[in-house]
Amino acid sequence: MRGTPQVNHVRVQTNVLPAELSTAEIYEAARSISLFYKNANFVCQTFFTNPLVGELNWVDGLEKQADVHFREIRFIGPNLFHIRVVGTEDNVRRMCEDPKFYNLLKGLYTTFNEEIRSRRYLEVTDGRERWDVIYSLDKKTYYLANQVSLNGQKTRIRNIIVVGDRLLGLTDNKEVVIGHLTPEIIEQKERLLEVSLMPEVNELGKVDLLETMPNSEDCFLVSIGNTVYQFDIWGNRFLFDTLDGNVKRINAISFNHTRSIMATDSGLYEVDVMEMPNMAKPSGLPRLIANDELKKEFQTALYVEDPYLLGIHPAVGVFAKTRDEKVVFF
């Protein structure tokens, strides 16, 4: 940012996606700020005009009342997606069974490559229920992954991540569980995935967050208080980073190729990182993004490096969502 940022308000525009998507519409859906399902239509929102780069831009006009809001669409295997959404179970199932959902995912599949494995979206939904969908394009079928079997008991988990062929999540007690994804699980909607506790992680304390690690198929990140650890699916642990004592909870971690940004209960922190084979490691000390407008709790922070979206090259920017569901871009 240049000098002392001024506060600007930038609005979004809303476009309903047709049942059959053109290439332009596929990329609009992939690059949009917000993607949701409302009244049996898929709808995306993007900037009406480019934001003021180098200034703080509060984003106005994001949809709050859709049936299902997307948080992330992640490519996890050949023709296989992990999709994070917000909504009621009935609405999520109704969306997954809509033929337009298959067409949307089939189109988005063409936008993924070695560099882009995930499309993240912003939603402002006032804390509705979150769900995790595993969707197979090959079988045209979906699986809601939040209900699992732990020690023979049906248990709901959240904050699900998929690492290689393992699915991990958090119980209501903030304990990490892990299970083995197989094709049979995906093809049987009512079957509960068998999971077990990960004592190597849980012995450190109550877990706040799980996050995937860039450039790795067997490592993931765990945050507990102000500390982030790196684990592999076998339980081996490495310290990733520790923020200052003002931070009591880390709510989200996101990466680009050179930096990581963390949304916390005490503002936004960045740290320089170095991507290595099968891991990423900090290459500098964490630094607080100092601005009076950003001295609040944030739920989410995402890097944006898309010239199409920002209108500049090279493109760099950050979306962040506060605890009270307001969105800022800078």
pLDDT digits (tens, 9 = 90+) for 141-152: 999 999 999 999
Flag whether pLDDT at 5 surpasses 60. no
| pLDDT average, residue stretch 297-326 | 90
Q: Work out the end-to-end distance of the chain between its first and last CA atoms, rounded to an integer number of angstroms.
A: 8
Q: Is the pLDDT of residue 21 over 80?
A: yes
pLDDT of residue 6: 67
Q: What is the pTM of this model?
A: 0.93
45 and 62 in contact (C-beta within 8 Å)? yes
Alpha-carbon distance values, 187 to 134, 142, 150, 290 (Å): 10, 8, 20, 48
The pLDDT of residue 278 is 78
Q: CA geometry: angle at 95 spanning 94 and 100, to 5°? A: 125
Report the percent of the chain where pLDDT is more than 70: 98
pLDDT for residue 189: 82
- The residue ranges of every structural domain in the chain are 1-138
Q: What integer pLDDT is reported at residue 1 of this predicted model?
A: 45
Q: For 216-255, how does the pLDDT look when each residue is reduced to its tens digit (9 = 90+)? A: 899 999 999 999 999 999 999 987 899 999 999 999 999 9
Binned at pLDDT 50, 70 and 90, residue 4 comes out as: low
